[in-house]
Amino acid sequence: MTDKVAAKALLRAERLAVRNQLPTSERIEKSLTIAETGLTTLEIEPGMVVSGFFPIRSEVDIRPLMADLKSRGAVLCLPVILDKTTIVFRELHADRPLVPLGFGTFGPGADCAELDPSLMLVPLAAFDRTGHRIGYGGGYYDRAIDRLHRKGLHPRLIGIAFDCQEVASVPAEPHDMRLHGILTESGLRRLNS
Ligand SMILES: Nc1nc2c(c(=O)[nH]1)N(C=O)[C@@H](CNc1ccc(C(=O)N[C@@H](CCC(=O)O)C(=O)O)cc1)CN2
Ligand SMILES: Nc1ncnc2c1ncn2[C@@H]1O[C@H](COP(=O)(O)OP(=O)(O)OP(=O)(O)O)[C@@H](O)[C@H]1O
């Protein structure tokens, strides 16, 4: 294991432990604040494809934000784990059942269209002020973003986290994609990446 991988693993475990300690009531309050802030700061055009996520473990619950973005015309999609290295994004339809997809995640089934988001709301385990991020360690988002770049697509990447998940510096590896913004309960930070 390289030094950077080990350092990231440590930061991931540390920030996830802090996130797990947030009382449920605080997580709900902060998630609602994040939804309100997101609605007023994220620029959405009707028809825009936006990837969100349904929360697992102690993640920010952005379902209220997703519902509001939909009412403003966004087409929503969710990540779907296909195998050990791949996620794709499938359209979320309110009237279709979600299926279990591994690691406690649920998402649209194979009957739902695969979409390329132009705005991605990216779940974080930890982040720093320059927009470097750490996820659960699967590299799923890094690869998915890389795949979109290879198709000539450059989605806007907005990290979603609680303030307590910020660290001084993420030891970035060459494959790590930087976020364009980070949305927490204290607001949307726009970054020059
Ligand atoms: N809500 C939500 N959905 C999501 C993600 C996410 O971060 N949040 N993902 C974002 O990528 C994908 C799922 N990625 C995940 C990757 C690893 C683990 C996980 O539990 N890993 C083990 C370690 C496994 C190992 O090291 O072999 C662990 O943390 O214990 C969970 C989810 C797709 N869907
Ligand atoms: N574009 C890529 N192509 C190939 N492998 C990659 C790519 N991006 C990441 N990986 C691999 O995935 C593994 C996990 O990467 P990393 O620790 O950055 O995950 P993470 O950012 O925490 O997870 P996630 O992206 O799922 O939120 C590493 O072994 C890394 O080499």
Across 142-159, average pLDDT? 97
Across 25-39, average pLDDT? 97
Task: Indicate which residue's Cα is closest to atom 6 of ligand 1.
Answer: 123
How many Å lie between the centroid of ligand 1 and the Cα of residue 137? 7
* Strands 156-160, 181-184: pairing kind: parallel
pLDDT of the residue at 192:
77
* Ligand 2 atom closest to Cα of residue 85: 12
Distances (CA, A) of 16 to 13, 40, 50, 131: 5, 28, 25, 18
Distances (CA, A) of 148 to 51, 66, 77, 156: 13, 22, 15, 11
Phi, psi angles (nearest 5°) of residue 82: -95, -40
pLDDT of the residue at 173:
87
How many Å lie between the centroid of ligand 2 and the Cα of residue 128? 17
- Residue for token digits 């132009």? 118
Across 168-190, average pLDDT? 95
> Is this structure's pTM higher than 0.80?
yes
Side chain identity, residue 85: T
What is the C-alpha to C-alpha distance for residues 113 and 115, in angstroms, rounded to an integer? Answer: 6
pLDDT > 70? residue 1: no
How many Å lie between the centroid of ligand 1 and the Cα of residue 191? 25
DSSP-derived letter for residue 163 is G
Average pLDDT, the chain: 96
* Ligand 1 atom closest to Cα of residue 55: 1
pLDDT > 70? residue 193: no
| Residue 172 binned pLDDT confidence (cut-offs 50, 70, 90) | confident
Whether the CB-CB separation of 166 and 134 falls below 8 Å is answered with no
Across 150-175, average pLDDT? 96
Does the CB atom of residue 141 touch ligand 2 within 6 A? yes
Q: What residues line ligand 1, using a CB cutoff of 6 Å? A: 53-56, 59, 79, 81, 87, 103, 105, 123, 135-138, 140-141
Across 18-38, average pLDDT? 97
Nearest Cα to 159, choosing from 2, 13, 7, 15? 15
47-65: pLDDT as tens digits: 999 999 999 999 999 999 9
What is the C-alpha to C-alpha distance for residues 119 and 152, in angstroms, rounded to an integer? Answer: 15
Whether the CB-CB separation of 77 and 51 falls below 8 Å is answered with yes
ipTM: 0.94
Point out the ligand nearest to the CA of residue 139: 2
How many Å lie between the centroid of ligand 1 and the Cα of residue 89? 15
